[in-house]
Every structure is written in C-alpha cells, then in structure tokens.
Structure 1
Amino acid sequence: MPRLPRDSAWKSWLFAGALVLGGLGCFSGGVAWALRSIYRGMEQELRRDDVHRLALRTAEASPRATELLGAPLTSTTLTLRAHGTTPEAGLVDFDLDVRGPRGHGVLQAQVAYTPRVWTLRRLVLRPEGGTDVELPAGDSTPARPPD
C-alpha cells in the first residue's frame, strides 16, 4: 500500500496561526468600531444640546480667558475624553480647541448630565505655550428630550 505524502507540521501551525491572527484582527476592529460609535453618539449629543457653546460662553465671561485669548472665542474641534453615564445621570469630559483674536488653546470641560439639564462642573483653559488656568464653572443648559 503506497504511503500518502503528509504536510509538514510547520505548515499546519502556520495555517492555525494565520487563522488566530485573522480572528484577533477582526475582533479588535469590531471593538474599535463599537467604541468609536459610542463616543461619536456622545459627541453628537453634546453638540445637539449646545453643551460646547455653554463651555465657550462661560470661558468668554471669564476676564482671565479673554485676557489670554481675547473675545469672541470660536471652537473647531470637540474631542470626547471620557464619559460614564447611566440612564439617570452621568459625567462627560471633553476638550474644545478654541481660538480667539489673541491666540488659541484648549478648553477642558467636565459636565454633569441629568435627563433635563447639562451642568458645567469644571472648566480649565490651556492656552498654547501657557499654564493651565482654572475658570469659574457652574452654568447649565437644558438637555433636549431624546428623539
């Protein structure tokens, strides 16, 4: 009876390794996509409820911020840093790239969320080339009911 040729062991391991790496790549891509979807949804909520404008208005009302950047302030990019929400309430941290007539920087904001209102809890201005400046916070803006 003739002997059948057998594949070498390294070919089997190579095939198994490729399958495992391919599976891990697909899983990692799915996790990254899911996290980005969650963050994008929260960023849209912040913009829909004008929470970024609350941070801008509060910064413009601060003499220290207008001394450093001038007024009016405009924002270009909103970057979500962290959020932890429940259906009842939560906290959201985000950064706003801001620009004024005298310069630009980043506003770091922390807001608290309840189903009816967003409240600015902490606001820090980081001007380009300068040190962090804690700005007064505490203003709030209404939250819109979900669509």
Structure 2
Amino acid sequence: MRPHRLDSPWQSWMVATALVLGGLGCFAGGVAWVSRSLFQDMEQELRRNDVHRLALHTAEASPLATERLGTPLTSSFLTLRAHGATTDEGRVDFDLTVQGPLGRGVLETQVAYTKGLWTLRRLVLRPEGGDSVELPAGGSTHALPAD
C-alpha cells in the first residue's frame, strides 16, 4: 500500500484565498446590482417627469449654449451622478449628453424636488473641445403622481 501524501500548506492557503475572493466578488456584484437598480429607478423617474427636457429647453434658451452647439438640441444619454431624493424632497445630479448642429457636449444638471415640483438649480455646459460654461438655471416642472 502506498503512503497517502499530505497536502502542502500552500495548497490549503490557495483554496482558502480562492473561496474568500470568490465570496467577496459575489458580494461586490450584489452591491453593484442593487446600486444600479436604485439609480435606474431614479433615471426612469427623471425621464417620466420630463426633468431632462426642462434642462434641454433651458439650455436651448441660453445664447451661451446656442453659440457653442447651435439649436435645436437633442439628448441621448442621461447618466445619474448622485441623488439624495425621498418621496417628499431631495436633490438629484445628472449628466445629459446633448448634440446640436454645431457640436456635442454634456449638460451637468442639478435639480431639486420639493412638494411635487422639480426645480432646475444648476446647469453647466461642457462642450467637446471647449471650456465649461455655467448657464442660467431656473424653471420647474410638476411631478407626475406616483404609479
């Protein structure tokens, strides 16, 4: 009968390390999925309430934006940067990718939500190949009732 060979300590450490890293990977994936779900819900709410159109129309009304990008402006992507909104009030920061006849850029947008009203607080245009410019912000849109 052949003697049974014992596993080396390195093999035991490698198995333990693989199990720990696999567990951490699963945990991180779950956290990322939950975070993305929360952000996706907020993005859908902004689009449902036409908050992105408020930012787009405000930029179109600004001579600073139209001289850099032209008019009409169209938007393609809305990327949520941060939000601290509840059902009653809060603040949401998002980027809106825009394009006009003269160029493309990103609108960095900050809106506030209070008592059923979305209000544009800050609007910064970052045109491709140009300096950022702060646009006059203002205006609001009523929030639609929750589904």
The TM-score normalised by the length of structure 1 is: 0.93
Unaligned runs of 5+ in 1: none
Equivalent position of 1:128 in the other structure: 128
Equivalent position of 1:48 in the other structure: 48
Runs of 4+ in 1 over 4 A off after TM superposition: none
What is the distance in 1 between the residues matched to 2:115 and 2:71? 32
Equivalent position of 1:18 in the other structure: 18
SS at match of 1:72: coil
Deviation at 1:87, TM superposition (A): 3.1
What is the distance in 2 between the residues matched to 1:14 and 1:44? 44
Per-residue CA distance 1:37-90 (angstroms, 9 max, x = gap): 111111111111010000011011111211111111000111111111233211
Change (3 A) 1:68 1:4: closer
Equivalent position of 2:89 in the other structure: 89
Equivalent position of 2:110 in the other structure: 110
Deviation at 1:18, TM superposition (A): 1.1
Deviation at 1:5, TM superposition (A): 4.6
Unaligned runs of 5+ in 2: none
SS at match of 1:85: coil
Per-residue CA distance 1:82-102 (angstroms, 9 max, x = gap): 111233211111111111111
Fraction of identical pairs, as percent: 70
The TM-score normalised by the length of structure 2 is: 0.93
Per-residue CA distance 1:10-54 (angstroms, 9 max, x = gap): 222221111101100100110111111111111111111010000
